[in-house]
Structure 1
Amino acid sequence: MDTYLEFLVKQKYTLSKVLMIAGLFLLAGILSFLSFFVAVRNPVVMQLICLIWALFFYGAWWLSQKLCVEYEYIVTNDELDVDRIIAKKTRKRLLTVSVKKFEEFGCANKEKIAELKNRNFKVILDASSGSCDDMPYYAVFDNKQGESMLLIFNPTDRMLNSFKIFNPRVVNI
C-alpha cells in the first residue's frame, strides 16, 4: 500500500519581517514625497506623478510579497519532499530525502535547536513555521552530496507514524 501525505506550513511573521515590510512602504512614501518636489519644478514629471507614486507603492508591495513564505511537506512512501512556496506563486523543491537515511530524529525544543545549531552541519534547512509552539521536529542525515544536513520542520502525526514505519530504529515518537 502506497502512502501519500502532504501538509502546508506558513512561516510566521517575525518582528524583523514586519519591520522590513514597514520600511519598504516608508521608503515608498519618502520617495513619493521627494518626487513631488522634482515634479513641481518639471511640468513633464508633474503629469506623470500619479504613475510614479503608483510604481513606488507597487514595488514596495511586490517586494513585501516575497517575504510571505510557506513550506509544503510531501511524503510518498519513504520519500520526504520539502518545497518552498513564495507569495503563493513560486514553488521550488528544496529537498528530497528517504526517511531511511535519517540518522537522528526527534522533537526540537528551543534548547535542542540551539544545541543542534552549534554542531558542525554543512547545510541547515529550517522549513518550520518559526514558532516553538507548533512543536517542530528535527532530522539529521547526509544529503545527496554527502554533506551532513539538519532539517527542522513541522510534520503531522500521520507523517510521524509513516516515518516510524520506514525507520523505527531512529524515529522514536
Structure 2
Amino acid sequence: MNQLYAEAGVKRKDTTATLALRFLMFVGIIIGFIAMFLGQIFSIVGIAMVVVLFYLLPRLNVEYEYVFVDGQLDFDKIMGKAKRKQILRIDFEQVEIMAPINSHALDSYNHVQMDKKDFSSGTKESKPYVIIANVDNKKYRILFEPSEKMIGMIKQKSPRKLSPY
C-alpha cells in the first residue's frame, strides 16, 4: 500500500488590524481588572470582560496546516496553538489548475468571479501557490504555501493539474 502523504504549515503574519485589536483587548482587560475593585455591579461586569477577553485573545494567533493524502488536500486553521478547525477539503479531481501566484497559466482566471480563500502566511518572502477548484458548485481561488515534498506528491498524483510556471 503506497499512500502519498505530505503536510506543511505556516503561521499567519499579524496585520495592523490584528495588532490594534490585540492592543484594545489588553486595554479592556486592564479596565476589567480596575472595574472589579469599584463596586458590586462593576465587579461583575469587570469579571465578565476579563473572562471573555482572555478567551478571545489566543484566537488572534492563527496558523494554517495543509495535509495532502492520496489526492485530497485538507486546510486546517489552528487558533492559539490549541484549537484546530478544518476549513476546507478539496479533492484534486475538483481542481482545474494549481500554479505559483505569478504564473501566466492563471491569467485566464483573473477576471472570473470566484470566492477567495487565503491560507498563506502573508509575508513578503513567501512563495504561495494558487489552486482554482470547483467545490460544492462553487469556484474557489485558494492561496497556500505548500512544501517541496507536497508539490512533488501533487505532481506525482495529478501531473496535469500542476503548472510549473
Q: Compute the TM-score of the two structures, normalised by the length of structure 2.
A: 0.81
Tell me which of 97, 100, 125 is aligned to 2:117.
125
Instruction: State how 1:80-91 maps to structure 2 within 5 Å.
Output: 80-91=73-84
Comparing 19-28 and 98-107, the one that deviates more: 98-107
The separation in 2 between residues aligned to 1:151 and 1:65, in whole angstroms, is: 25
| Cα drift, residue 148 of structure 1 | 0.7
Give the 5 Å matches for 1:16-35. 16-33=17-34
Q: For this pair of structures, how many residues does the alignment match? A: 160
- Could you tell me which residue of structure 2 aligns to residue 42 of structure 1? none
Rg larger in structure: 1
Distance change >3 Å, CA 91–CA 117, structure 1 → 2: farther
3-state SS of the aligned residue for 1:17? helix
What code does the residue aligned with 1:125 have? Answer: K
Determine the structure 1 residue equivalent to 2:92. 99
Question: Equivalents in 1 of 2:64, 2:112: separation in Å?
Answer: 24
Q: CA deviation at 1:52?
A: 7.3
Amino acid at match of 1:162: M
Per-residue deviation, 1:58: 4.5
Pairs within 5 Å for 1:1-173 = 1-33=2-34, 36=37, 38-39=38-39, 45=40, 56-109=49-102, 119-121=112-114, 123-143=115-135, 145-173=136-164
- Structure 2 unmatched runs, 5+: none
Which has the larger helix fraction?
A: 1
Rounded Cα–Cα distance in structure 1 between residues aligned with 2:95 and 2:47: 50
How far apart are the structure 2 equivalents of 1:91 and 1:117? Answer: 32
> What displacement does 1:31 show?
4.1
Give the CA deviation at 1:20.
Answer: 0.3
- 1:56 Cα deviation from its structure 2 partner: 4.0
Q: Quick one: structure 1 residues 119 and 133, their matched pair in 2 at CA, closer, same or farther if it must change by over 3 Å?
A: farther
Does the aligned pair in 2 maintain the 1:32–1:52 contact within 8 Å? no
Q: CA separation in 2, counterparts of 1:103 and 1:150? A: 10
Deviation at 1:62, TM superposition (A): 2.3
Q: Distance in 2 between matches of 1:148 and 1:140?
A: 7
Compute the displacement of 1:172 (Å): 2.1
Please provide the CA RMSD for this pair.
2.9
The amino acid across from 2:158 in the alignment is: N
TM-score (norm 1): 0.77
In 2, the alpha carbon distance for the partners of 1:136 and 1:172 equals 13
Q: Kindly provide the amino acid, as one letter, of the partner of residue 139 in structure 1.
A: I
Paired AA for residue 157 in structure 2? F
